[in-house]
């Protein structure tokens, strides 16, 4: 298996192309989350949504959050899962929060 980049390949039988957008890498188990909001309470509420999704994927996740002040408008969290696949599942699930 190689890590070479390939262009879209068209299937001659059906005329469609496909793209693989996600690769599971060994030891890639930490998701970095950036949250923006108007105040500390809004940031904490949005973080709670992300942590609830992480718990759905695996209740044994670990997380750390950047220190918040009362006037903070940005929060950075690192969420560590037990394996790379769980991180990938979490990232796919968080798309629903970004809408």
If DSSP codes are grouped into helix, strand and coil, which group holds residue 35? strand
Q: Where are the alpha helices (DSSP H) in 16-83?
A: 40-57
For the question of whether the overall pTM of this predicted structure is more than 0.75, the answer is no
The predicted structure's pLDDT at residue 95: 86
7: its two tokens: 């262009």
Span of 24-33, 39-48, 55-64 with lowest mean pLDDT: 24-33
Q: Which residue has the higher pLDDT, 16 or 22?
A: 22
The predicted structure's pLDDT at residue 1: 42
Tell me what percent of the residues of the chain surpass a pLDDT of 70.
75
Spatial distance between the Cα atoms of 50 and 66, rounded to a whole number of angstroms? 15
């Amino acid at each position: 298996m190689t890590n070479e980049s390939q262009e879209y390949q068209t299937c001659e039988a059906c005329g469609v192309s496909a793209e693989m957008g996600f690769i599971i890498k060994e030891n890639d188990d930490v998701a970095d989350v950036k949250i923006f909001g108007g105040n500390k309470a809004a940031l904490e509420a949005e973080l709670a949504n992300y942590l609830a999704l992480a718990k759905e994927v695996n209740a044994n996740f670990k997380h750390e959050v950047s220190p918040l002040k009362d006037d903070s408008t940005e929060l950075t969290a690192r969420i560590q899962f037990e394996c790379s696949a769980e991180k990938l599942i979490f990232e796919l699930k968080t798309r629903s929060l970004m809408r």
